[in-house]
Amino acid sequence: MRYLAVRFLQGVLLLFGVSLLSFAFLELAPGDFFEEMRLNPQISPSTVARLRAAYGMDRPLPVRYGRWLVSAMRGDFGFSFAYGSPVAPLLLVRARNTLLLTGTATLLAWVVALPWGVFCAARPGGWLDRGSSLMTSTLLAIPELLLGLCFLAIGVRTGWFPAGGMLSASFEDFSRWQQITDLLWHMVLPVVVLILGTLPVLLRHVRAALLEVLDAPFIRAALGHGISRRRILFRHALPAAINPLVSLFGFSLAALLSGSLLTEVIMSWPGLGPLLLEAVLARDIYVVVGAVTFSTFFLVAGMALGDLLLFASDPRIRSEALV
C-alpha cells in the first residue's frame, strides 16, 4: 500500500503543478476573453470592466487560482465565458469521446504488436523482422500531422469512410445496430492514425523484451527438452518478459490519452482536442486549464493503471512495498 500511496501522491502533485503552470502561462499571454469587446464600439468600457469584475478577472492571479481550486474541488472546474456554463459538463462529454477513441486504439495496437513482436523476436534477421524494422523506421519518421492529413485525404477522395465527426447527421433516426455501425465507421480513420503512430514503439519494445528473455538459460533448457517453439514463445518467454511490457502498456495508454489531441483536431473528432483549440483561440481561460488538467489526469491514470498491473504481476514489488 505504501507503494501505491506514493504513486498517488506523485500524481496529485503533478496535477497541481500542471494546473498552476497553465494559469501562469495564460497570465503571461497578452489579452483575455474580454479584450475583443473593447474593439466593439457598441460595448462601453464600463460594461467590459463590470464583466471582468463579475467573472473575477480583475483579481490577482493567486486569488483566481485559489478560486479555481475551490471550484475544481466542487466539481465545476470554473466557468466558461464562451459557453456560459460550468466547465466540467463540457469536459466530461469530450473526455468520454477521447477515452472511447484512444482506448480502442490502444487495445487494437497491443493486439497487433504482441504476436507480431513475438514472431519477429523468434526469428531475428528473418524476412518478417527486416520488413518490420523497415516499416517501423518509416512510420517513426512520418509526423503524426502528415499521417492524419494523408488518411483524411483518403477519406475525402474515396468516400469510403466518413471524413470527420463522430456521428452522422441522421444518427437519431437509425436503429440500434445502425447507430453502432455508424459510430464504428466514423472511428476507423482516427483509430488507424493513432495505431500507426504508437505501433512502431510497441513493436520494438515487445521484440526487445522477448529477445532478452530468449537468451535466458531456462529457455535453452526448455528447447532441449523438446518443447515446441510456439509453446515456449507464448507460454514461457512472453510471461517472463511481461514486466516491462506491463509498464509500457500503462505508458502507451497514457500517451495516447494525453497526446491524441492533434489527431482529434485533424479528424474533427469531438474530443478534448478541438475543445482545447477553440478555448485557446477564444482565450476561455478556465476551459483551457480544465482541458489541460483533464489531459494530465489521463496521463496520470494511464501510468497508475500500469503501476497497478505491475504491482499485481510482480511479487518483488509487493515485497518491497511491505518493507
**pLDDT on residue 318:** 56
Taking 80 as the threshold, does the pLDDT of residue 88 lie above it? Answer: yes
**pLDDT on residue 258:** 65
**pLDDT on residue 76:** 84
Q: What does the pLDDT look like over 24-44, one tens digit per residue?
A: 887 777 767 777 677 677 777
Q: Are residues 80 and 102 in the same domain?
A: no
Q: Are residues 73 and 147 in the same domain?
A: no
Taking each helix axis as running N to C, give the angle between helix 315-322 and helix 285-313, from 0 to 180 degrees, rounded to the nearest 10.
100
Answer whether residue 52 is part of any domain.
Answer: yes
Q: What does the pLDDT look like over 282-319, one tens digit per residue?
A: 888 888 888 888 888 877 877 777 777 766 666 665 56
pTM of the predicted model as reported, rounded to 2 decimal places: 0.79
Answer whether residue 260 is part of any domain.
Answer: yes
Q: Are residues 134 and 80 in the same domain?
A: no
Q: Are residues 151 and 258 in the same domain?
A: yes
Residues in the chain: 323
**pLDDT on residue 264:** 85
- H/E stretch holding 34 reads none
Q: Are residues 189 and 67 in the same domain?
A: no
Q: Are residues 27 and 151 in the same domain?
A: no
Answer whether residue 11 is part of any domain.
Answer: no
Q: Are residues 48 and 174 in the same domain?
A: no
Q: What does the pLDDT look like over 255-290, one tens digit per residue?
A: 776 667 888 888 888 888 888 888 888 888 888 888
Cβ neighbourhood burial of 79 (10 Å; 0-12, 13-18, 19+) = middle
| Residue 5 and residue 304 in contact, taking contact as beta carbons nearer than 8 Å | no
Q: Are residues 230 and 316 in the same domain?
A: yes
- CB atoms closer than 10 angstroms to residue 243: 16
- CB atoms closer than 10 angstroms to residue 18: 18
Last residue of a domain, one of 36, 56, 87: 87
Cα-Cα-Cα-Cα dihedral sign, residues 56, 62, 67, 72: positive
Answer whether residue 10 is part of any domain.
Answer: no
CA separation, residue 82 to residues 121, 135, 297 (Å): 53, 44, 24
Q: What does the pLDDT look like over 105-161, one tens digit per residue?
A: 888 988 888 888 888 877 877 888 788 888 888 888 888 778 888 888 888 788 787
Distance of CA 107 to the CA centre of its chain: 13
**pLDDT on residue 49:** 78
Cell of 174: 437509425
Taking 60 as the threshold, does the pLDDT of residue 321 lie above it? Answer: no
Answer whether residue 1 is part of any domain.
Answer: no
Answer whether residue 149 is part of any domain.
Answer: yes
**pLDDT on residue 162:** 79
Helices (H), 159-284: 176-214, 217-224, 229-231, 238-240, 242-259, 261-266, 272-282
Q: Are residues 148 and 185 in the same domain?
A: yes
Q: What does the pLDDT look like over 201-256, one tens digit per residue?
A: 888 888 888 877 777 777 667 666 667 667 777 776 777 667 777 777 777 776 77
Last residue of a domain, one of 87, 117, 138: 87
**pLDDT on residue 173:** 75
Answer whether residue 153 is part of any domain.
Answer: yes
Distance CA 204, CA 211 (A): 11
| Residue 91 and residue 290 in contact, taking contact as beta carbons nearer than 8 Å | yes
Domain that holds residue 74: 19-87
Per-residue pLDDT band at 67 (split at 50, 70, 90): confident
Domain count along the chain: 2
Q: What does the pLDDT look like over 7-16, one tens digit per residue?
A: 778 878 888 8
Answer whether residue 6 is part of any domain.
Answer: no
Cβ neighbourhood burial of 225 (10 Å; 0-12, 13-18, 19+) = exposed
**pLDDT on residue 19:** 85
Q: Are residues 54 and 146 in the same domain?
A: no
The set of residues, in sequence order, having a beta carbon less than 8 Å from that of 76 and lying 6+ positions away, is: 86, 87, 88
- CB atoms closer than 10 angstroms to residue 48: 16
Q: Are residues 242 and 121 in the same domain?
A: yes
CATH of the domain at 110: 1.10.3720.10
Last residue of a domain, one of 87, 113, 145: 87
**pLDDT on residue 271:** 84
